[in-house]
Amino acid sequence: MMLSLTKGYLCPTTSFNGKVHSVFRRSMNIKTDLVDTPWVSLLDTRLSATPTAYQCDFESIGALTNKINVGDTLFMRGGMIRLKSTLNLEINTLTAIQWQQAPALLTINHYRIKNNVGMTEALLGKYISSKKQLTINSAAEYIQHLGLTLPNCIYIHSDKLAKNIGHGKGLTPSGDDFLIGVLAVLSSLKTVHPQAETLFNHIKTAIQLDINKTNEISAHYLTLALFHHFSHPVQWLIHDLFTATDASTLNHRVMANLNIGASSGADTLAGILYCLNNVLLN
């Protein structure tokens, strides 16, 4: 038996039947028969916590791809997930601790956010320049490198951002990760910025019309974002962009995001910086 160490706040507590949708070395995605939670993930503790994922120490049992196949059936009863595969995996989710969400934003200190955005852009540029052998000095330059579509004014043509759905390669395309970053900022700003909720809803409507242009996994994370649900690293980075007063705290949060996936963290961070620059700082 394996113990689940953490769980997302949207993880199901009721019984379900499901099948493995996709499997990777240290994670798998599951399609369930639940209406409210049609998608659940099992992730290694070294991967980023999400609202619909249980985390376990999968590193201790080796590569999941050698033991689990797409289409393998499983079920959860009484908090126990049992996977019918060569691994015969049994996971106790009752042991999982729910990870803490970032608190709501109460005020905006424009000087602080401008300073933190500047430091974050420098870290993004340094990371991309080192990883891709490119000279990137700002989020705008990185977004241009990705070939993403931006409106002339986010307040007038925010729906054009949805043209980025499915743009780019990977498990979650760059355009989708960028949109999640934008939505995460607007979601955080809704209580303190009068136009944030209106912008969020305009972008949400446009994304819902075209969400079938991306793959199932990415569509799942986009759908969560449309209802104000984001991963642990994204929530806490945005919180610290508004509140951090020391470089070390911010550096820790930024690097935690940049290290997500092959480029997902950088692409999401580009969306966060784009939104902050164009909604608050310009």
Q: Of 17, 11, 72, 19, whose CA–CA distance to 37 is shortest?
A: 11
Q: Of 8, 13, 18, 68, whose CA–CA distance to 38 is shortest?
A: 18
HEC secondary structure over the chain: CEECCEECCCCCCCCEEEEEEEEECCEEEEEECCCCCCEEEEEECCCCCCCCEEEECHHHHCCHHHCCCCCCEEEEECCEEEECCCCCCEEEHHHCEECCCCCCCCCCCHHHHHHHHHHHHHHHHHHHHHHHCCCCCCHHHHHHHHCCCCCCCHHHHHHHHHHHCCCCCCCCCHHHHHHHHHHHHHHHHCCCCCCHHHHHHHHHHHHHHHHHHCCHHHHHHHHHHHCCCCCHHHHHHHHHHHHCCCHHHHHHHHHHHHCCCCCHHHHHHHHHHHHHHHHHHC
The predicted pLDDT at position 17 comes to 97
Contact (CB, 8 A) for 84 and 98: no
Phi-psi region of 79 (alpha: psi -120 to 50; beta: other; left: phi over 0): left
pLDDT tens-digit profile, the chain (282 residues)? 899 999 999 999 999 999 999 999 999 999 999 999 999 999 999 999 999 999 999 988 889 998 899 999 999 999 999 998 767 789 999 999 999 999 999 999 999 999 999 999 999 999 999 988 889 999 999 999 999 999 999 999 999 999 999 999 888 999 999 999 999 999 999 999 989 999 999 999 999 999 999 999 999 999 999 999 999 999 999 999 999 999 999 999 999 999 998 899 999 999 999 999 999 998
Q: What angle do CA 215, 61, 252 make, to 5 degrees?
A: 65
The predicted pLDDT at position 86 comes to 65
Ramachandran angles phi, psi of 77, nearest 5°:
-135, 130
Tell me how crowded residue 93 is: count the other CB atoms within 10 A of its CB.
20
What is the model's pTM?
Answer: 0.96
The predicted pLDDT at position 25 comes to 94
- Separation in Å, CA 130 to CA 4, 133, 134, 188, 266: 36, 5, 7, 31, 13
- Separation in Å, CA 19 to CA 29, 40, 85, 216: 9, 10, 11, 14
Separation between Cα atoms, residue 197 and residue 135, nearest integer Å: 35
